[in-house]
Amino acid sequence: MTFNVVVDVAWKEEILDPAGQSTAKVLQQMGYAADNLRIGKQIRFQLQAPDVAQAETAAREMAQRLLANPVMETYAVRVVAE
């Protein structure tokens, strides 16, 4: 069975995000009330697995081992059957 996987990765709150700070500053200069802006990444892929539970387990392992750095980043995994 094919599953669509989305992994959202973001910096932990205690980690500085210079890109987010710079972007917030520019938005403020443009007149927008943007504050505490953080920039992350989203990874999307398809995964073959026998069922949704195994797909979720595999996707979480991938996020933990490669797609995110658990020391500095948080991640959330969503798995949806195609």
CATH of the domain at 76: 3.30.1280.10
Q: How confident is the model at residue 82 (pLDDT cuts 50, 70, 90)?
A: confident
State the total domains in the chain: 1
Average pLDDT over residues 41-58: 97
Average pLDDT over residues 40-60: 97
Among 70, 39, 41, 43, which residue's Cα sits nearest to residue 59?
43
Residue 33's domain spans which residues? 2-81
Average pLDDT over residues 12-26: 96
Distance CA 76, CA 6 (A): 8
